[in-house]
Amino acid sequence: MFSLRTTLRRRGSIAALVAALGAAAAAAGGGPSSITPQELREWLGYIASDELQGRAVFSEGLGLAGGYIVEHLRDWGVKPGGDPGQYLQTVRVLGVKTTSHSSVTVRVGKETRTFADGEGITFPKNMGGKRTVTIDRVEFVGYGLDAPGASHTDYGGKDVAGAAVVWLGAAGPKDLDQAAYRRLLAGRNRYATEQRGAAASIGPPAAPGAGRGGAGRGGATGAADGVDFTTVQRLDAAAPPNLTAADAFFEFVFSRAPSTYDELKRKAAAQEPLPSFRLADVAITFTIDPAYDVVRTQTTHNVVGIVEGSDPQLKNTFVAFGAHYDHVGYAERELSREAGARRPGAPGRVTPGAEEDRIWNGADDDGSGTVAVMAIARAFAAGAKPKRSLLFVWHAGEERGLWGSRYFADYPTVPMDRIVAQLNIDMIGRNRDDKASEANTVYLVGSDRISSELHAVNRAANAAMTRPLTLDYEFNDPADLEQLYFRSDHYSYAAKGVPIIFFTTGLHPDYHANTDEVSKIEFDKMARITQMIFETGVRVANLDHAPARDNKGPRAGRLTQ
């Protein structure tokens, strides 16, 4: 005899079957209409399930997620694009110890002094490959900070391209909210070399209590486990010197300057306004001479698939789509009831009231991007082929410092100069801060920075949709407090000169919390964003030329559109 519950369950399963058949029919034809909320929900239901244990890199859960993606790619006829003949690309994560013989030689007028690494000047442990570079244009840029939102601009229109930049004042200027601006303050060396084009940047050590960040390459440091740093990148690549210096160095550099170092140091300590000026007749020679000892190698995998284009020539070039399929994992330690309920050793935030939940499901971050890229891959595999080929990469270890994408960018499975654009999807399943007013909004970061043409193609693709999304460029501002441009996988491609767009619906209270769950995902919105990204990709893949790389930098955001 049927119980009422059984009947309901059966009815439910028939409805599910009908929905699945409908989705299968749509999928058969490929194209944007094959991207449906139902399927995104089904796939995410697995990717963000407790069974996958939060998908931490090197975990069983991440392996299951990778296997699930591979299985689908094989079903859909997407070709393997990883290690030869494989969907997986092995990513080697190196633990490295550094012995440094590096130094800096400063010439002021006719006087010269050399500072060894650790004596007046400190190189990051990951300082790039051996080389010597002399820079004879040295610019003092005050606090080295552009924070127009706080009415503080040190660079303004000043061109520091190719110069060595020197800045002071670890704590930043007075009246600057240090907590809100911590990423900008900590990222000043990176800002100088990566955004302003400086050839080197030298500042004081971080203020006590400030977070790390900005200095060095390759993200994560690993001092706690007996290595100097952890990296997936080539150790021999040239990196602009990003150094910290002590009083002895600054005293000499400023010895003939319009202001003495004592005076500048006093002002910086008092957080008073600092001047900026060129350090005339000063040259700095950086002798970068490290010996790297790889003391540990761990492996994980990117998942890579390819759908071939239709044009005999253009199919040798690629439009890349990416997301990260890892998240932060689960809490191994037991709940502590002393001093309130706590999860010691939790991999992320614990939402009050959800202390019992020990799995960080990462439904939005980045389960949403993971299944969106699956849907795009299937839409291309089953549908009409554009001229260019499509490359799909599910990156591992993004949460640990963009590992998968940094590795791919240094060891690409197709030549990097044949990737004409990279469209990165990280967190597209929510409304920013859970606001209903955000229901139609998607944030784009970086779309205009490398290629104005890519930016225009995306806007046209969105405008042509039945229901265009609201495109918001707020986070594209170089002074964005969250510095999102540096915080997902597209950045690894951008650093190699590839035009990128980073798509996200923004941060929310469940970001990196144990309550980032499937039940909170806006699947209709997510499907529309995924379709818009697909349409952008089709247009780029059918261009007869690669999107022009005019490198005009970030403009959308401040000027809007």
Shortest distance, position 224 Cβ to Zn ion, whole Å:
21
Q: Is the dihedral of CA 450, 454, 455, 456 positive or negative?
A: positive
Structural tokens at position 469: 């999304």
Structural tokens at position 10: 């059966």
| 194 interacts with Zn ion by CB under 5 A | no
* Residue 139 or 357 having the CB closest to Zn ion: 357
CB under 5 A: which stretch of 188-196, 238-246, 362-370, 468-476 binds Zn ion? 362-370
Shortest distance, position 278 Cβ to Zn ion, whole Å:
41
* Residue 358 or 539 having the CB closest to Zn ion: 358
Whether residue 457 contacts residue 537, with contact meaning beta carbons closer than 8 Å, is answered with no
Shortest distance, position 323 Cβ to Zn ion, whole Å:
11
Place of tokens 């595999």: 381
- Window 65-84: contact mask with Zn ion (x via CB under 5 A): --------------------
For the segment 519-538, give every residue that binds Zn ion (CB under 5 A): none
Distance CA 403, CA 213 (A): 16
* Residue 365 or 480 having the CB closest to Zn ion: 365
CB under 5 A: which stretch of 11-19, 100-108, 113-121, 361-369 binds Zn ion? 361-369
Question: Angle at CA 519, nearest 5°, toward 518 and 524?
Answer: 80
According to DSSP, residue 394 is labeled E
Q: How far is CA 348 from the centre of its chain?
A: 18
CB under 5 A: which stretch of 102-110, 131-139, 364-372, 402-410 binds Zn ion? 364-372
* Residue 181 or 360 having the CB closest to Zn ion: 360
- CA-to-CA dists, residue 453 to 19, 23, 316, 543, 546, angstroms: 39, 34, 21, 11, 9
CA dihedral 338, 344, 348, 351 (to 10 degrees): -20
* Residue 365 or 472 having the CB closest to Zn ion: 365
According to DSSP, residue 364 is labeled I
- Tell me the residue length of the chain: 561
Shortest distance, position 415 Cβ to Zn ion, whole Å:
29
Place of tokens 């028939």: 14
* Residue 147 or 323 having the CB closest to Zn ion: 323
CB under 5 A: which stretch of 298-306, 360-368, 447-455, 460-468 binds Zn ion? 360-368
* Residue 462 or 514 having the CB closest to Zn ion: 514
CB under 5 A: which stretch of 8-16, 34-42, 293-301, 357-365 binds Zn ion? 357-365
Shortest distance, position 426 Cβ to Zn ion, whole Å:
7
* Residue 194 or 365 having the CB closest to Zn ion: 365
Strand 290-307 to strand 138-140: parallel, antiparallel, or no bridges (unpaired)?
unpaired
CA-nearest of 498, 520, 514, 381 to 44 is: 520
Residue nearest to Zn ion (CB): 365
Among 194, 228, 365, 477, binds Zn ion (CB under 5 A): 365
Distance CA 371, CA 388 (A): 22
CB under 5 A: which stretch of 25-33, 115-123, 365-373, 546-554 binds Zn ion? 365-373
The amino acid at residue 70 is: V
Shortest distance, position 395 Cβ to Zn ion, whole Å:
12
Whether residue 305 contacts residue 80, with contact meaning beta carbons closer than 8 Å, is answered with yes
Peptide bond into 366 cis (omega under 30): yes
* Residue 472 or 489 having the CB closest to Zn ion: 489
Structural tokens at position 535: 């349409």
Count of residues near Zn ion by CB under 5 A? 1
Q: Which residues lie near Zn ion (CB under 5 A)?
A: 365
